[in-house]
């Protein structure tokens, strides 16, 4: 099983990127976990661009998603919504289908548990466009149980991917 970690933040020292590294370290031994770092390379979504063929960065994004069994998206909240780079990435695969029906665990690394909820709701709404199966959806506050909660989310994601009836028909 292969899980693709996607960070909604482009920041080099993002707390959400740190969360993905905790997830990678806590995954079961027989699971492959890859963090995708190419959202920053995607051009702004424009269907006209594909008339002459999708850019290499878009092809890499689509291939990474197609080769994964599930995704873990850790994303901050920007302006009560999801970051533009992440939304742009989702837009690039709506018509091509690499996220269609994919199991997607979503969360946000936050300083306090009441933060990040609007961003996660916006992310959930965007993923509904591709009928993604959502796992989790709660922010994870940095603190003493941070690692345990990330580990639990990874286990829930792996379990959901392994269930044959998880994906929509």
pLDDT in tens, 83-116: 999 999 999 999 999 999 999 999 999 999 889 9
Q: Which pLDDT score, from 0 to 100, does residue 114 have?
A: 86
**With respect to CATH, is domain 2-162 assigned 3.40.50.360?**
yes
Is residue 168 predicted with pLDDT exceeding 60?
A: no
Domain boundaries, the chain: 2-162
Give backbone dihedrals phi and psi of 168, rounded to 5 degrees, phi first. Answer: -70, 155
Model's pTM, two decimal places? 0.95
Which is nearest to 101 in space by CA: 76, 126, 70? 70
Residue 102, number of CB atoms within 10 A of its CB: 23
**What's the rounded mean pLDDT across residues 11-23?**
97
């Amino acid at each position: 099983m292969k899980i693709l970690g996607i960070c909604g933040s482009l920041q080099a020292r993002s707390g959400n990127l740190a969360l993905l590294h905790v997830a990678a370290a806590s995954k079961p031994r027989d699971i492959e976990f890859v963090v995708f770092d190419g959202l920053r390379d995607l051009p702004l979504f424009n269907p006209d661009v594909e008339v002459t063929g999708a850019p290499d960065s878009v092809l890499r994004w689509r291939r990474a998603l197609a080769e994964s069994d599930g995704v873990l998206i850790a994303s901050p909240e920007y302006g009560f919504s999801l970051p533009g780079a992440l939304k742009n990435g989702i837009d690039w695969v709506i018509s091509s289908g690499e996220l269609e029906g994919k199991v997607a665990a979503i969360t946000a690394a936050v300083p306090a548990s009441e933060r990040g909820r609007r961003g996660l709701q916006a992310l959930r709404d965007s993923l509904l466009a591709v009928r993604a199966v959502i796992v989790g959806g709660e922010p994870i506050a940095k603190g003493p149980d941070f690692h345990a909660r990330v580990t639990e989310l990874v286990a829930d994601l792996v379990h959901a991917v392994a269930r044959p009836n998880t994906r929509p028909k």
